[in-house]
Chain A
């Protein structure tokens, strides 16, 4: 069992991003159809009807030019049971993913079948679509399928589609949950911050001092195992004055973002320079960390609130030229 003091730090991390995509002519017709409770298939070069429609013919690679309505009922071609549904799957209780061959189509569609239990679904079983109440032009407009064992196949829709392309965009929300772990070096650094210390590591080959410490010296590719405690003073190597407001900004512009090179280290890191007018900040300026009060300290770099000038004379350019 690893003692807690050396175990790596973990933190839940949730990434969320909505993919909004424009639809080409084929998928635009398909999604527009779904919004109107109509399933459209692509007529392929060999005469087969494919749902969902590929945008290009799998044999000739020509763009699909003909779409044809098919039924929203069909037959289960194969299925697998989902005993514990995952977030965002079509149903939140146990269900089957299945390939469903819709009446009038020649290529099966992957979707969910709300069968209740694995005993209540079988290959060859008839199913029918359950449409979402609110339809927006997404594959989720077709909410799921349900058993339709008692129904005879309905008539397959005939005729061509209207070719309507009302829906031209589709949006897919993506939420991914991670257990994010820091590396052993990052963990030691984080623990140091919480104690008000800055822990760096040195490369055993080139003796460069890295802060925050890394898993390996990027020059030599060897682990940087030797811990070194650094002072919380250093210099500004290069900087920029932030004048542009952006989403999530926590300080009112103008303010200074700078690379700070701590005394005794060989790599600068990005931090804030406050306590001085932005126009006064210059390369070589001596600065010192301003720590958050003890009760507010965490494993995060934010434990250092910012850096502010010490008032000492600036460093000579030659002393930090190689760190730019």
Chain B
């Protein structure tokens, strides 16, 4: 898909919840209702202002069928709404909504993702996203697959356990100032390395915590912002793209994520990511941030690029909304004036198999 939009679309509202264990139904209606109310307050809109709705969730997480249909109760879907769903992170729901706005069928959209990861053994349940003939019958869990990937890079000298620990420590430290993060606190790389191995070569803090939660975002075409819009500095999507690599783990070079590189190149467009100053990367394992930074051509703090100021997925990784949260966290930096150009990334599948990149910029049009 082309990265240059014909129609400018901006992120104008964002709300989230993250928690270790959500003590409620896996439909997460109770979580979604207050999120939507927050969005109405942020935007000054009502549900009648929304032209398209799209969600990301999975029945495998909920343990029941059609959980996303039940969740629609939270929206107030009468009179009938235009609605869709992806069995992927909400970031892909945002992509679908962006396409919908490009087609002109809608001017505004509300996208959301939700999931109760704690209802089952998450790393085992996720084996169901693998090839059902040759992989799922072995029940390879998410953590083990990430461990295979981490060791490949360590053995090849592409990164070290110390560099992984530095990512984990920086993430925990940044997450300390994120009220939504569930794993946080001032941490040094030595603190991380002092941990026992959890899934050799991974330590517990190298792995994102099992997290329940939900997030919701409002996007709108900049040529159709209702007058009630209260966001003075919308985050305009200058490029958004996603790509996928082979489902065969063996056929992939697991030390790389070519689909992230492709998505980044497409979303970055002609100007690339050189002037991005904040990047929110959806890396559920510490070494995956190192892979992503290389694939996306992103510098680090030493180059004036803030990586995961929210603490990233290592601070909290609610399934089906953690990628969407990256988009919201990055957009927030534009609203606040902290940044003029930001990059958000979301991943899906095993070991960074599928990747989405969304680049956002402060609008140059002062009349917005």
Contacts and interface: CB of A to CB of B under 8 A. Distances in A.
A complexed with B: yes
A267 B33 CA distance: 21
A176 B199 CA distance: 22
Contacts of A97: 140, 144-145, 147-148
B23 A8 contact: yes
Contact of B24 (A50, A99, A184, A217): A184
Given A184-B30, A216-B74, A221-B74, A176 B120 contact: yes
Contacts of A82: 141, 144, 199
Contacts of B30: 183-184, 215, 223
Task: Give the interface size class of chain B.
Answer: 35 or more
A123 B76 contact: no
A314 B341 CA distance: 68
A21 B138 CA distance: 16
B133 A87 contact: no
A172 B147 CA distance: 25
A98 interface: yes
Interface stretch (A102-110, A146-154, A251-259, A289-297): A102-110
Interface in A1-47: 2, 7-8, 13, 15, 19, 21, 23, 27, 30
Contact of A178 (B47, B63, B249): B63
Contacts of B76: 216-222
A212 to B, nearest CB: 12
Contacts of B101: none
Interface string A178-202: 1111111010000000000000000
Interface stretch (B92-100, B149-157, B186-194, B220-228): B149-157
Contacts, number: 187
A98 B155 CA distance: 14
Given A123-B151, A220-B76, A221-B47, A181 B138 contact: no
Contacts of B135: 110, 139
Given A80-B150, A107-B250, A178 B119 contact: yes
Task: Give the interface size class of chain A.
Answer: 35 or more
A184 B146 CA distance: 36
A140 B128 CA distance: 16
A112 B144 CA distance: 11
Contact of B33 (A58, A89, A176, A221): A221
A219 B202 CA distance: 48
A170 interface: yes
Contact of A183 (B25, B136, B138, B152): B25
B36 A27 contact: no
B66 interface: no
Given A80-B151, A97-B147, A139-B133, A86 B141 contact: yes
B124 interface: yes
15 contacts: A13-B63, A21-B133, A52-B133, A52-B248, A54-B246, A54-B251, A81-B147, A82-B144, A90-B139, A99-B152, A107-B248, A108-B250, A176-B63, A181-B116, A181-B119
Given A50-B250, A99-B148, A110-B140, 20 more contacts: A21-B132, A30-B134, A54-B251, A78-B151, A80-B145, A80-B201, A86-B139, A99-B249, A109-B250, A123-B155, A140-B138, A176-B60, A178-B26, A180-B64, A181-B24, A181-B119, A184-B24, A221-B75, A222-B76, A223-B30
Interchain residue pairs A-B with the least CB separation, the first 9: A80-B147, A221-B76, A215-B29, A81-B200, A178-B63, A183-B25, A52-B134, A219-B78, A97-B144
